[in-house]
Amino acid sequence: MSIRFSWFRAVARPLLLLVAAGLFSFAVLHKSPTEQVKEHYTTHLRQLHTALTAFQQMAPQADAVTLRAQFAACRQEYKQLEFAIEYYYPHAASRINGAPLPETEPGEPGEVIPPSGFQVLEEYIYAAPDTRANRELVYQEIDNLLYQVRHLEQQASYLAFTDAEVFDAVRLNLYRLAAKGVSGFDSPVAHASLPEAAATLKASRDVLAMFDVPAALTTQLAHCEAAVAAPAQDFNRFDRARFFVRYFNPALATLRQVQAQLHIPFVAAKRAVRADAAGYFVADAFDASFFAPADAATPTPAVLKLGAALFKEPLLSGSAGRSCVSCHEPERAYTDGLKVNRSLLADAGLERNTPTLLNAALQPDQFYDSRVHFLEDQVHAVISNKAEMGGHLSEAPTLLRKKGAYAKLFAQAFATEKQPVSERNIRRAVAAYVRSLVRLNSRFDQYMRGDTTALNASEVLGFNLFMGKAQCGTCHYMPLFNGAVPPLYEKTESEVLGVPATADAQSPMLDADPGKFLLYGIVHQKHAFKTPTVRNAALTAPYMHNGVYQTLEQVIDFYDQGGGAGLGLSVPTQTLAEDRLNLSPAERQALVDFINSLSDAQQVVYE
């Protein structure tokens, strides 16, 4: 026994210890992909904390050049984390890198949240006078950022990544880069969007490489990064159209393909952009049902046929003789061509211009003041509005039962219901019809899907201006080109533009409509209106909430001058920058040409 024990001590035990040590080392050196992502996150979060601390220490005394360099370093560090913070901690993300404007939460519309984060800090460092008081504001704003970072550090131990969530977070962050990053949305003063986009792409490549993805994907992302980080790359002259078609869209398609090859599931979350979409511009990327209520009618052929009939039915307005189509004419891209339509109450016009219903389903709020969320509620509001249709939905079912084939149409559409002809089903059927009016196959869309002959040179220039120098894309977010905020599209932004009452630029007066202010009396929402879609705008003149401008050229000139403030009006809450864009005549024409390429108003007949 003693010989065996000695042999164990001399040979076997050391060998076992060596094997155990080797297994331990293997486990340490070969962490799972999600463990590596967690390490990436915690490392860069710690580095951001260190960079912000150094930034705060130098804030009182450093020269402006040094201050800006440190600001850029902190922003670059944040871009390494953005995919995860936006995904898991959206509230913190809004406090770290939200727009430099006061906000209100949908559930608490009366509570105003002051702006905070990098974009506020950017204005202090790049735009405000370099005074002692301003340096104190810089110090305080860095303190706000450090508070958020410390909070994230406290939560880090509880954060657990999954393979599916990492791929989903990276994909959403790439959508964010496309819609907001390269447009200059989150770097409006420093104009550092392109180097920051390069940092985002590098972070995406580094994180995905942890999953041992095929080289084709990391190579494509590297090409994207090189395209935005090319030497002497200029924000205004950057060819975004070429970037998306040649580099970005193929990378997104490969990302989806690789995820499927690795058998990593797509998240089951229902979202505006389908979680398993092959890209941002593919035909089926957007799901209009995301914006619908839980009891929305399924858009069967029978429901859509009924909805189309009700859309044209004057009985819904009782004796007023007006239908939905009276103001939303299909041949006019579901508008009426009027400055404002006629009010039923008096010989006067309605308060606001008639918006298009094309793609109205792809937004989380309806009406210019965003007062309702669902199309079903909008249908009810319009029908019962005494000035618009003057109807009574409670009386409509009785009237419809007496007319023509409506009883049969309702029975076919809602076959499982005992009383299919009802107020509820009127709203649901009309809303389903409007929800079917999604049009995302314009020449612009065809170009983005690879047909580079679909746009001419002026239209391509117009797109690049729209997303760059002209700053249109910072409010009209690509690819929907409305105010629904990408990439989740859970809220709609409203803007204060300072729209004048008339087109007389020599003696302008601010339009009196207080807009969203009427809902809650919030000061910063005075004269605020929802950002509408630019899709089909070439077909929907006149423009603005009051129909003040007859042509796209007039609209572009208004923006080029800096909105109402640029015209000399007193608009203290204006969210549009009042600086002139300095667009040349050729550039203004290119913007018009691009907007023309967004027309896609083909009709669908439901029989």
**Does position 605 have pLDDT exceeding 90, yes or no?**
no
Write phi, then psi, for 79 (nearest 5 degrees): -65, -20
Which of 16-30, 95-109, 348-362, 502-516 has the weakest average pLDDT? 16-30
Return the number of other C-beta atoms located less than 10 Å from residue 108's C-beta: 9
Q: What is the mean predicted confidence (pLDDT) over 402-414?
A: 93
Domain check: are 586 and 570 in the same one?
yes
Which of the four pLDDT bands, split at 50, 70 and 90, describes residue 8? very low
Q: What is the DSSP string of 126-174?
A: HTS---HHHHHHHHHHHHHHHHHHHHHHHHGGG----HHHHHHHHHHHH
How is residue 440 written in tokens? 């995302």
Domain check: are 577 and 489 in the same one?
yes
Instruction: Tell me the whole-structure pTM to 2 decimals.
Output: 0.92
Tell me the three state secondary structure of residue 9.
helix
CATH number at residue 137: 1.20.1420.20
**306 located within any domain:** yes
**Does position 3 have pLDDT exceeding 90, yes or no?**
no
Report the alpha-carbon distance of residue 435 to residue 172 in Å, rounded: 24
Domain check: are 73 and 181 in the same one?
no
Per-residue pLDDT tens for 307-347? 999 999 999 998 888 999 999 999 999 999 999 999 999 88
How is residue 142 written in tokens? 């860095």
Which of the four pLDDT bands, split at 50, 70 and 90, describes residue 27? very low
Cβ proximity of 211 and 262 under 8 Å: yes
Per-residue pLDDT tens for 323-332? 999 999 999 9
Comparing CA positions, the residue from 373, 506, 535 lying closest to residue 440 is: 535
Q: What is the mean predicted confidence (pLDDT) over 466-486?
A: 97
Domain check: are 334 and 430 in the same one?
yes
Which of the four pLDDT bands, split at 50, 70 and 90, describes residue 606? low
Q: What are the CA-CA distances from residue 373 to residues 108, 307, 379 (Å)?
A: 15, 19, 11
Domain check: are 494 and 544 in the same one?
yes
**2 located within any domain:** no
Q: What is the mean predicted confidence (pLDDT) over 136-164?
A: 97
Q: What b/e readout covers 534-567, taking b as 16+ CB neighbours within 10 angstroms?
A: bbbbbbbbbbbbbbbbeebebbbebbbbbbbbbb
The full length of the chain comes to 607
Which of 178-182, 344-348, 383-387, 572-576 has the weakest average pLDDT? 344-348
Domain check: are 430 and 467 in the same one?
no
Which of the four pLDDT bands, split at 50, 70 and 90, describes residue 434? very high
What average pLDDT does the structure give for the chain? Answer: 92
Q: What is the mean predicted confidence (pLDDT) over 580-606?
A: 90
pLDDT of residue 29: 61
Which of the four pLDDT bands, split at 50, 70 and 90, describes residue 232? confident
**Does position 216 have pLDDT exceeding 70, yes or no?**
yes
Comparing CA positions, the residue from 240, 190, 201 lying closest to residue 478 is: 240
How large a percentage of the chain has pLDDT more than 90? 87
Which of the four pLDDT bands, split at 50, 70 and 90, describes residue 28? very low
The residues facing 492 across adjacent strands are: 484
Which of 18-27, 137-146, 339-348 has the weakest average pLDDT? 18-27
- For 370, counting Cβ atoms within 10 Å of its Cβ (0-12 exposed, 13-18 middle, 19+ buried), the class is buried
Fill in the amino acid letter for 299: P
**184 located within any domain:** yes
CATH number at residue 302: 1.10.760.10
pLDDT of residue 358: 97
Tell me the three state secondary structure of residue 539.
helix
Report the alpha-carbon distance of residue 203 to residue 82 in Å, rounded: 9
**6 located within any domain:** no
Per-residue pLDDT tens for 518-568? 998 999 999 999 999 999 999 999 999 999 999 999 999 999 999 999 999
Cβ proximity of 508 and 515 under 8 Å: no
Domain check: are 417 and 327 in the same one?
yes
Domain that holds residue 71: 27-105+112-161
pLDDT of residue 586: 97
Q: Which residues contact 113 (CB under 8 A, 6 or more apart)?
A: 102, 103, 104, 105
Domain count for the chain: 4
Write phi, then psi, for 210 (nearest 5 degrees): -65, -15
**585 located within any domain:** yes
pLDDT of residue 530: 97
Residue that the structure tokens 């079903």 belong to: 376
Domain check: are 259 and 311 in the same one?
no
Domain check: are 456 and 545 in the same one?
yes
Domain check: are 592 and 490 in the same one?
yes
Q: What is the mean predicted confidence (pLDDT) over 72-76?
A: 96
**379 located within any domain:** yes
Cβ proximity of 476 and 495 under 8 Å: no
**274 located within any domain:** no
**Does position 125 have pLDDT exceeding 90, yes or no?**
yes
Domain check: are 455 and 492 in the same one?
yes
